[in-house]
Amino acid sequence: MTTYKVVSSSPTFGKITSEPIIYLQQNDCEVIILKDDEINDREIFADSLRDADAFVVGIEKVDEQLLANARKLKVIAKHGIGIDNIDLELAESKGVAVKNVPNASTNAVADYTIGLLISSARHIPQTVEEVKKGEWHKKPGFGFSGKTLGVIGTGRIGQAVIQRANGFSMNVIAYDKFPNLESAKTLGFTYHELEEIYRQSDYIAVHTDLNPETQHLLDLKAFKKMKPNVIIVNTARGGIINEEDLLTALNENLIAGAALDVFEHEPEFNKELMKHERFTASSHTAAYTYDSLAFMGMETAKNVIHVLTN
Q: What does the pLDDT look like over 141-154, one tens digit per residue? A: 999 999 999 999 99
The reported pLDDT for the residue numbered 1 is 60
- Length in residues, the chain: 310
Domain 4-102+289-308 identical in fold to domain 106-281: yes
Q: What is the mean pLDDT of the chain?
A: 95
The reported pLDDT for the residue numbered 2 is 73
Q: Tell me the pLDDT tens digit for each residue of 274-294.
A: 999 999 999 999 999 999 999
Please, are residues 287 and 106 in contact by the beta-carbon 8 Å criterion? no
β-strand pairing of 29-33 with 54-57: unpaired
d(CA 168, CA 129): 27
- Each domain of the chain, given as residue ranges in start order, spans 4-102+289-308, 106-281
- Beta-carbon contacts of 272 under 8 Å, excluding residues fewer than 6 positions away, are 247
d(CA 252, CA 270): 17
Query: Which stretches does DSSP call E strand in the chain?
Result: 4-8, 29-33, 54-57, 75-78, 97-99, 148-152, 171-175, 190-191, 203-206, 231-234, 257-260, 279-281
Q: Tell me the pLDDT tens digit for each residue of 26-63.
A: 999 999 999 999 999 999 999 999 999 999 999 899 99
Least Cα distance to 159 among 138, 179, 131, 136 occurs for 179
Which CATH number applies to 4-102+289-308? 3.40.50.720
> Which residues are the active-site residues?
237, 266, 284
Please, are residues 270 and 243 in contact by the beta-carbon 8 Å criterion? yes
β-strand pairing of 148-152 with 97-99: unpaired
The reported pLDDT for the residue numbered 217 is 98
Whole-structure pTM value:
0.84
Is 258 buried (19+), middle (13-18) or exposed (0-12) by CB count in 10 A? buried
DSSP helix/strand/coil, 87: coil
The reported pLDDT for the residue numbered 104 is 84
Q: Tell me the pLDDT tens digit for each residue of 91-139.
A: 999 999 999 998 889 999 999 999 999 999 999 999 999 999 999 999 9
| C-alpha torsion 207→208→209→212, nearest 10 | -140
For 154, half-sphere exposure in the C-beta direction (CA atoms, 13 angstrom radius) is 26
d(CA 113, CA 192): 21
CATH superfamily, domain 106-281, is NAD(P)-binding Rossmann-like Domain (3.40.50.720)
d(CA 70, CA 119): 45
